[in-house]
Structure 1
Amino acid sequence: MVEKKDFPKKENHHEIEETKKGDQELARENKMEKLAQKGIELFPHNVKVTHSVFDIVSDFASLSSEDLEAKKVNVITPGRIVSIRRMGRATFFHIADSSTRLQAYIRENRVGKRNYAIFSLIDIGDIISVEGLLFKTKTGELTVFADSFTFLAKCLHPLPEKWHGLQDVELRYRKRYLDLIMSPKETEVFRLRSALITSIRKFFDQRG
């Protein structure tokens, strides 16, 4: 009779990667707790919006700095933060919708010390709403000068580094949501594919 042996179970490193929390995840959870302690609603359901990021860029990117100053275009727009450049008491950052990015600028003496301290708890990947006037920087980039912002949701998993994105092909397929967040081109491919399939289906449906 052959003795049955229990072989050690092979570890699935992918599963471990998915379940084990890293320092960044824990730090983000800690920041979310601090936001709650400051009285910030973590998942507000009633958010005012005047423009989407796409609409702002489409409608106003072609205007000159002088035209924007004369028109005094005030916008309230939501988006996911995809980059942050902090410079002491002022910060440049980009928010994005599914296809377009827009720069925003926030300054402590504009929003106040308390609100700027709250903004320090914001990470790349978080979703916020920004309100302010549009202007163009010295380099000509369309920007929202934030008078206020509203926290909408915390991203508890860090996003890939801005400039390189997801280089690991296997990881891109396993974590497709990260690839789509960081790569507007990939999102556009999905959008075009869906539109093409819909068009083909409609063509054949009309012909029985």
Structure 2
Amino acid sequence: MCFLLQQYYENRLKTLDVLKAGGANPYPHKFLASISVPGYIEKYKGLNEGEKLADVTECLAGRIMNKRTSSSKLLFYDLYGDGVKVQVMADARTSELEDTEFSSFHSGVKRGDIVGICGIPGKSNRGELSVFPRKFVVLSPCLHMMPRQVRSRICLKVGS
């Protein structure tokens, strides 16, 4: 297991070196969040299923703790900030990136990365509060493999 963790770390460092060599800055200097994740939830929790506020843009920052792929043009992220979660529905149709750039960019986003997202508030068709990003920026790549969430497991020490 330790070898796997070390290899993951080294691969992430190599990825950052490639970005730097290409002239990109993997650690952007600033990102102005307009609202916190708890504030976002409180402000938009009353939206109806499938409703999107196309004339409103909010900017959030947080850590990606889960990534799910629906297709090459639709990805779901769980964005955590201040102990709470909001879903991010990254859709190539609403992104400011072209289709090939979209796929390439999102393949590099990993669990644990700290990101900034500017997008439209809304609820998915299943009723989950979401942000539909137009702009998605990795602010700080996570270099270490994040542990999977443990589901209510209690460990007891025997023999003490």
Shorter-chain TM-score category?
0.7 to 0.9
Equivalent in 87, 98, 101 of residue 103 of structure 1: 87
Equivalent in 52, 77, 85 of residue 68 of structure 2: 85
Give CA deviations for 1:91-128 in whole Å, capped at 9, x if unaligned: 11111112111111112343322244122111100011
Match of 2:105 in 1: 118
Task: Note if 1:69 corresponds to 2:52.
Answer: yes
Once residues 94 and 47 of structure 1 are traced to their aligned partners in structure 2, the CA distance between those partners, rounded to angstroms, is 19
Q: Which has the higher contact order (CA 8 A, sep 6+)?
A: 2
Residue identity opposite 2:80 in structure 1: A
Match of 1:29 in 2: 13
**RMSD between superposed Cα atoms in Å:** 2.7
Match of 1:143 in 2: 130
User: Quick one: structure 1 residues 161 and 39, their matched pair in 2 at CA, closer, same or farther if it must change by over 3 Å?
Assistant: same
More strand per residue: 2
Identity, in percent, stands at 21
- Alignment TM-score, normalising by the size of structure 2: 0.79
User: Quick one: structure 1 residues 81 and 165, their matched pair in 2 at CA, closer, same or farther if it must change by over 3 Å?
Assistant: farther
Tell me, which stretches of 5 or more residues in structure 2 are unaligned?
156-160
Residue identity opposite 1:75 in structure 2: E
Residue identity opposite 1:125 in structure 2: G
Equivalent in 144, 147, 155 of residue 160 of structure 1: 147
Q: Is the 8 A contact 2:47 2:122 kept in 1?
A: no
User: Quick one: structure 1 residues 63 and 49, their matched pair in 2 at CA, closer, same or farther if it must change by over 3 Å?
Assistant: same
- Alignment TM-score, normalising by the size of structure 1: 0.63
More helix per residue: 1
Once residues 16 and 105 of structure 2 are traced to their aligned partners in structure 1, the CA distance between those partners, rounded to angstroms, is 11
